Structure formats: structure tokens, C-alpha cells
Structure 1
Amino acid sequence: MLFYGKRIRLRKLSNEDVSIYHKWRNDIEVMQFTNPSLDVFSYDDTEKFVNSITESHNSKGYMIEEVKTGKTIGVTSLINIDYGNRNAECIIDIGDKDYWGDGFGRESFKLLLDFAFNELNLHKVYLRVFSFNDRAIKLYKNLGFAEEGKLKEQLYRDGAWHDINFMGLLKRNYKE
């Protein structure tokens, strides 16, 4: 399944994506914004993680590709999909740092949210974001997400404690 935007497309995550995802997953600069532990993962760990998404009935994982070049630049997913209560957690990682700050994350996330609300008919999507990730928080707020709570001083980075913020977006508040 492919979803197209102006500059990117989302295609289903597959086992063939393990090597590129493994590279991003072990890049501290990439994971400092999304991985609480900053652990180094073995290839086997990454393969099991990708399989957990691709083989699960309550997860939808997509690789982000630039349309112009076909280059894979990131990953976005709906996880923990609760079909009965019509909600899911969403995640995004732009793994290729050359694509940071140019709106590729926004375009990718909008495609994922369009799918979540218009195809899966979810009522709500939610996420976790580190309090120091100002760029992501700004994006989420611009899309209509609101802060719902936080885990105070849950994360230690660069000699300081940081919160993990929980944000949610109801379908009726989504700014398409």
C-alpha cells in the first residue's frame, strides 16, 4: 500500500527495511529525540522489532520515501491500535539527517494522520515526545495535538532531567 504526498510517499514497512532502520536505530543523533534509553541495538533486535510491527494486527508501519529520488528517509507508524476504542499511538523518525527541518516530517505525518482518521476511522491518536524536542512539539501543535500530561523528569540527557510529554489529537480537532 502506498500513500502519496507532494514530495514523499509512504510504503509498507517490510523485512527488507531492517538494515536501513538498524542504521538509524543505532545513530545516537537520530535516536536522541525518540529513544529514552539510547541503547545500542543488535541487528537481531532490530529485526525482531520490525517483525513485531509488520506481523501485528494492531500496528501499521510505513517507510517514508522521497518521491523525486526514491530514497528512503524515515519511518512512521501507528502502533497499539485499539480498534474497539478507535485510538492508536503514532510515531515518526526521519532517519536521514539530510532531510531534517525541510517539512518532510510534517508531510509524512499528515499522510499517516489522514490514513488514521479517514481510512481507519480512528477517533484519537496520541504520542509521546521529549520536552526538549521543540521542533516536534511545534509540528504536533500545528496539526492540532494538545498536551494531555507528562512524566516529570523521566529522561536524563546532557546533564539535565527532562519530561516526557503525552499529546493527543481527536479527529474533530485535526487540522487537515
Structure 2
Amino acid sequence: MVDTLEPWAHGRPEPLIHGERVWLRPSERTDIPTFVRWFNDAGTTRYLMARAPMSLAGEEKWFDRMLDRQGKDAYHFVICQLDDDRPIGSIGFHDTDHVDGNAAVGVMIGEPELWGQGLGSDAMEALLDFGFGELRLERIWLEVYDFNARARRSYEKCGFVHEGTLRRAIYRRGEYHDVHVMAILRDDRARSKTTAIRS
């Protein structure tokens, strides 16, 4: 479900997106220290394309760049728990092409004690509804490391399918690893929602 609040920088309404257990709000400057903590946790960054360490100054520069792109080719949100509004992660679209209807998506739960509880999947489901609904995207894609089996299962549960493998594309912890490309199309999403209603 998407509510509308204040306008984006270029005039689009700013969404407030609700899942079943989480809600998504636009990132704020006051979130920067939390982002720095998340992105300097070795357990968390092991699964991300970003590399630690992340300095406060570096994150502030990233935030300013993101703010310039927000609502244009990027849509960055903080994942908050519905029951206490606690920020627990981040999610968003980047490299959004409104002509071709494509966007890349990234998600992370920054609090390790909350991993494996379905909160990332709930956030992803909510963002997919926003992407295919409000943004009218045709294809949403992502990249995931071969050793992140939990994330791959989560993405499959959300309807993503494997499209290809970038062989030995990243170097982590002394080894080269494959990166899998997964995507979901508008039609895939419509079919999965219809199946869910029937079941």
C-alpha cells in the first residue's frame, strides 16, 4: 500500500509504503550515523556490493548524491518496523530507466539479530508493489552473491527468477565468487499475486 505525502524534489509525490510488518520511508540526513554503523559491520557488508569501512564523511557525500537523484533515477528508503518505527535496514531502486521501465533493486537488513525473520522479504514485496504500480516499471532486477543462499531463497519467494551468472565476478575473503542476476517482470508479479489470492 502506498500513501502520498510531501513532493519529491522534482514534484512527484513522496511515497510512504506499507508492508505487512514493515513500512518504508525516505532516507533522512539523521539516518546517516545508523547507515555508517550498518555498513561497518563485517557480517552485514559480507553480502553487499558496498565495501567497508565507510566513514561518516563518505556516507554524507553519498547521501548528498542520493538526494540529488531521489525521485529521478533512484528511490531510497529506510525500512522501519511497524510496531515501533525502529529503522532496521534500507531498500531502494537505483539505475532506474523510466523509458525502458527497468530498475535495479537492493535491500539489506542492518540489524543481524533480525535476519531470517522475513522482514527483508516483506519490505521487498512492498517495494515491488510500488515499482510496478506507482512507477509503472516493466522489469526489476538485482545481483546476489553465490554464497548468499538465504537472500536467493528470499528473492525467489518474492517472484524473482534467475536470468544469468556473472562468473567469478567478485573477490571476497580470499576467493573469487559468481554473481547471480535475478529479475521479476510485471507479468510475473501479476501472476504471483493472482496465485496468492486463489490459494
TM-score class, shorter-chain normalisation, is over 0.9
C-alpha distance in 1 between matches for 2:84 and 2:56: 27
Residue by residue, what CA displacement relative to the aligned partner does 1:80-127 show, whole Å, maximum 9, x if unpaired? 110011110000010011210001001000011000001111000010
**Partners of 2:45 and 2:52 within 8 A in 1:** no
**Partners of 2:160 and 2:182 within 8 A in 1:** yes
Q: Name the SS of the counterpart of 1:119 in structure 2.
A: coil
Alignment of 1:6-45 (within 5 A): 6-35=20-49, 38-45=51-58
Tell me which of the two structures has the higher relative contact order, counting C-alpha pairs closer than 8 angstroms and 6 or more residues apart.
Answer: 1
Q: TM-score, normalised by structure 1?
A: 0.94
C-alpha distance in 2 between matches for 1:64 and 1:28: 20
Alignment of 1:40-55 (within 5 A): 40-55=53-68
Work out whether 1:132 is the aligned partner of 2:151: no
Match of 2:79 in 1: 64
* Cα drift, residue 53 of structure 1: 2.1
Structure number, greater radius of gyration: 2
C-alpha distance in 1 between matches for 2:30 and 2:180: 33
Work out whether 1:150 is the aligned partner of 2:173: no
Work out whether 1:109 is the aligned partner of 2:124: yes
Point out where structure 1 has 5 or more consecutive residues left out of the alignment: none
**Partners of 2:79 and 2:88 within 8 A in 1:** yes
Q: Name the SS of the counterpart of 1:75 in structure 2.
A: strand
- Partner AA of 2:65 in structure 1: S
- Partner AA of 2:185 in structure 1: L
Q: TM-score, normalised by structure 2?
A: 0.83
- Of 11, 16, 34, 1:2 maps to 16
C-alpha distance in 2 between matches for 1:32 and 1:89: 20
Point out where structure 2 has 5 or more consecutive residues left out of the alignment: 1-14, 194-199
C-alpha distance in 2 between matches for 1:39 and 1:158: 13
- Of 120, 124, 136, 2:135 maps to 120
- Partner AA of 1:128 in structure 2: E
C-alpha distance in 2 between matches for 1:99 and 1:55: 31
* Cα drift, residue 51 of structure 1: 2.3
C-alpha distance in 2 between matches for 1:84 and 1:5: 27
**Partners of 1:80 and 1:88 within 8 A in 2:** yes
Tell me how many residue pairs correspond in the alignment: 175
Q: Name the SS of the counterpart of 2:65 in structure 1.
A: helix
Moved over 4 A (4+): none
- Partner AA of 1:44 in structure 2: A
